Amino acid sequence: AQKITQTQPGMFVQEKEAVTLDCTYDTSDPSYGLFWYKQPSSGEMIFLIYQGSYDQQNATEGRYSLNFQKARKSANLVISASQLGDSAMYFCAMRADAGNMLTFGGGTRLMVKP
């Protein structure tokens, strides 16, 4: 069974600063994928970034990067130069290679201060 843990229920960050959202995972599958989704107050789930377990480099998508530390089983999301529109819930999710379903963490609420 897979498990995703997000230990930060809520975080504040000053506008224009960088912030790291933590995610640790547990799986016995050698091949898996890690995803981050953003859920603004409007409720939709927006895909941000993906990291495969065999990817040699950390994934980046614009201001988002994923700090993947396989030995520590962590996949932290780094948002650079925070903007007010980044205020939202952020979910880490994992797909084990044996299946196609996503297992989600409990989420982190990020609040960006002007």
Partner 1 sequence: NAGVTQTPKFQVLKTGQSMTLQCAQDMNHNSMYWYRQDPGMGLRLIYYSASEGTTDKGEVPNGYNVSRLNKREFSLRLESAAPSQTSVYFCAGNRGHGETQYFGPGTRLLVL
Q: Which stretch binds partner 1 (CB under 8 A): 20-28, 35-43, 63-71, 73-81?
A: 35-43
Q: Which stretch binds partner 1 (CB under 8 A): 22-30, 42-50, 61-69, 74-82?
A: 42-50
52-61 long-range CB contacts below 8 Å, 24 or more apart?
53/97
Asked if 64 and 21 touch (Cβ cutoff 8 Å), the reply is no
Q: From CA 111, how far away is CA 80, in angstroms rounded?
A: 14
- The answer to whether residue 43 forms part of the interface with partner 1 (CB under 8 A) is yes
Interface with partner 1 (CB under 8 A), residue from 50, 58, 63, 74: 50
Interface with partner 1 (CB under 8 A), residue from 11, 22, 24, 97: 97
Q: Which residues bind partner 1 (CB under 8 A)?
A: 4, 33, 35, 37, 43-47, 50, 91, 93, 95, 97, 100-102, 104-107
